[in-house]
Amino acid sequence: MPPVLEFEGLSKQYNRIGNRGVTALDNFSLSVEGGEVFGFLGPNGAGKTTAIHLAMGFMRPTQGGGRMLGKPFGDSKTRRRVGFLAENVALYHRPAEQLVGFYGALNGLSGSGLKRSVTEALRAVGLLGESRRNVSKFSRGMLQRVGLAQAMVNDPELLILDEPTSALDPLARVAVRELLLQFRDAGKTVFLSSHLLSEVEAVCDRVAVLNRGRLVRVGKTSDLLESGQETEIVARGVRPESFTGARAMNGSIRFSVPACSQRGALEKVWNLGGEIVSVNPLRRSLEQIFLELTAPRKGAGTGSGA
Amino acid sequence: MSHIVLIAINFVREQRWPILVLMLWIVVLSVLGLFIESRVAREDVLFIFKQGAVYGVVFAVFFGGSAIHNERKTRRILAVLSKSVGRGEYVSGLLAGIALSTGIYWFSMGVTATWILGGEGLPVPQLWGIILCLAVASMLSATVAVLFSTILNPLFATMATFVALVVPGVLALRFGSSWTNVVPAFSLISTLMGASLDAPLSIPWSLMLLGITEAICFWLGAWWIFSKRDIAVAVD
Residue type, A63: Q
Write down the pLDDT at residue A305: 34
C-beta atoms of B79 and A14 within 8 A: no
Report whether A306 contacts A217 (CB < 8 A).
yes
The H or E element spanning position A162 is: strand A158-162
Indicate whether A155 and A260 sit together in one domain. no
Of the candidates A81, A78, A57, A86, the residue with the CA atom closest to the CA atom of residue A147: A86
A298 part of a folded domain: no
Domain final residue pick, A175, A202, A224: A224
What mean pLDDT value characterizes chain B?
86
- Selected residues 47-66 of chain A with any CB under 8 Å from a CB in chain B: 49, 53, 56-60
Domain boundaries of chain B, sorted by first residue: 2-228
End-to-end CA distance of chain A: 20
Report whether A187 contacts A35 (CB < 8 A).
yes
Indicate whether A181 and A254 sit together in one domain. no
| Residue A143 forms contact with B (CB below 8 Å) | no
Residues across chain B: 236
Domain final residue pick, A208, A224, A240: A224
**Domain assignment of residue A272, given as a range:** 228-281
Write down the pLDDT at residue A247: 87
Q: What is the pLDDT of residues B102-112, one digit of tens each?
A: 999 999 999 98
Rounded Cα gap, residues A290 and A209, in angstroms: 7
Write down the pLDDT at residue A304: 37
Consecutive sets of 10 residues in chain A, 306 residues long: mean pLDDT of each? Answer: 90 75 88 92 88 93 92 92 89 94 93 93 90 90 90 94 82 84 89 85 89 88 72 88 85 85 89 89 72 64 38
Write down the pLDDT at residue A46: 86
Edge-to-edge order in the sheet of strand A189-193: A82-85, A158-162, A189-193, A37-41, A206-211, A214-220
Higher pLDDT, B22 or B41: B22
Residue type, B34: L
Report whether A159 contacts A191 (CB < 8 A).
yes
A299 part of a folded domain: no
Chain A CA closest to residue B233: A59
Q: What is the ipTM of this complex?
A: 0.85
Is beta strand A82-85 parallel, antiparallel or unpaired with respect to A158-162?
Answer: parallel
Report whether B61 contacts B147 (CB < 8 A).
no
Q: φ and ψ at A8, to 5 degrees?
A: -125, 100
Write down the pLDDT at residue A302: 40
Question: What does the angle CA B119 – CA B121 – CA B124 come to, to the nearest 5 degrees?
Answer: 65
Write down the pLDDT at residue A17: 64
Indicate whether A34 and A56 sit together in one domain. yes
Q: What is the DSSP letter of B178?
A: G
Residue type, A269: V
Indicate whether A219 and A232 sit together in one domain. no
Report whether B206 contacts B219 (CB < 8 A).
no
Report whether A30 contacts A197 (CB < 8 A).
no
A246 part of a folded domain: yes
C-beta atoms of A79 and B82 within 8 A: yes
Report whether B183 contacts B103 (CB < 8 A).
no
Residue type, A194: S
Write down the pLDDT at residue B8: 95
Quickly state the pLDDT bin for B212 (edges 50, 70, 90).
Answer: very high
Of the candidates A29, A42, A41, A40, the residue with the CA atom closest to the CA atom of residue A3: A29
Indicate whether A157 and A260 sit together in one domain. no
A154 CB neighbours in chain B (<8 A) are 83
Indicate whether A193 and A277 sit together in one domain. no
Write down the pLDDT at residue A228: 62
Of the ranges A246-250, B38-42, B190-194, the best mean pLDDT one: A246-250
3-state secondary structure of B18: helix
Indicate whether A109 and A247 sit together in one domain. no
| Residue B73 forms contact with A (CB below 8 Å) | no
Distances (CA, A) of A292 to A39, A43, A217, A218, A296: 17, 12, 11, 14, 9
Q: Which of B13, B14, B81 sits opposite A58 (nearest CB)?
A: B81
Q: φ and ψ at A204, to 5 degrees?
A: -90, 140
Of the candidates B105, B89, B74, the residue with the CA atom closest to the CA atom of residue B1: B89
Rounded mean pLDDT of B187-197?
Answer: 77
Rounded Cα gap, residues A44 and A47, in angstroms: 8
A154 part of a folded domain: yes
Q: How many helices and strands (H and E) does chain A possess? A: 9, 14
Rounded Cα gap, residues B138 and B28, in angstroms: 21
Indicate whether A234 and A179 sit together in one domain. no
A184 part of a folded domain: yes
Assign residue A246 the CATH number of its domain: 3.30.1490
| Residue B76 forms contact with A (CB below 8 Å) | yes
Indicate whether A236 and A196 sit together in one domain. no
Indicate whether A121 and A266 sit together in one domain. no
Write down the pLDDT at residue B40: 63
Rounded Cα gap, residues A9 and A30, in angstroms: 9
Rounded Cα gap, residues A89 and B234, in angstroms: 15
Dihedral sign computed on CA atoms, order A98, A104, A107, A109: negative
For chain A, the C-alpha Rg in angstroms (whole number) is 24
DSSP string, A244-255: TT-EEETTEEEE
Of the candidates B69, B184, B70, the residue with the CA atom closest to the CA atom of residue B136: B184
Higher pLDDT, A224 or B230: B230
Residues across chain A: 306
A201-224 burial: b if 16+ Cβ within 10 Å, else e: bbbbebbbbbbbbbbbbbeebeeb
Q: Which of B83, B86, B89 sits opposite A103 (nearest CB)?
A: B83
A280 bridge partner residues? A232
Edge-to-edge order in the sheet of strand A252-258: A247-249, A252-258, A230-236, A275-281
Indicate whether A189 and A85 sit together in one domain. yes
Indicate whether A210 and A237 sit together in one domain. no
Query: Residue B159 CA to chain centroid, in angstroms?
Result: 15
Q: How many CB atoms lie within 10 A of CB A268?
A: 17
Q: What is the pLDDT of residues B147-166, one digit of tens each?
A: 999 989 899 999 999 999 88
Cβ within 8 Å of residue A40, ≥6 positions away: A48, A51, A52, A191, A192, A193, A194, A207, A208, A210
Give how many domains chain A has, as a whole number. 2
3-state secondary structure of A90: coil
Q: What is the pLDDT of residues B128-141, one digit of tens each?
A: 888 999 999 999 99
Write down the pLDDT at residue A146: 92
Residue type, B142: A
C-beta atoms of A147 and B79 within 8 A: yes
Q: To the nearest whole angstrom, how far is the Cα of B4 from the nearest Cα of chain A? A: 9
Is beta strand A158-162 parallel, antiparallel or unpaired with respect to A189-193?
Answer: parallel
Write down the pLDDT at residue A301: 43
Quickly state the pLDDT bin for B37 (edges 50, 70, 90).
Answer: low
Q: To the nearest whole angstrom, how far is the Cα of A147 from the nearest Cα of chain B? A: 9
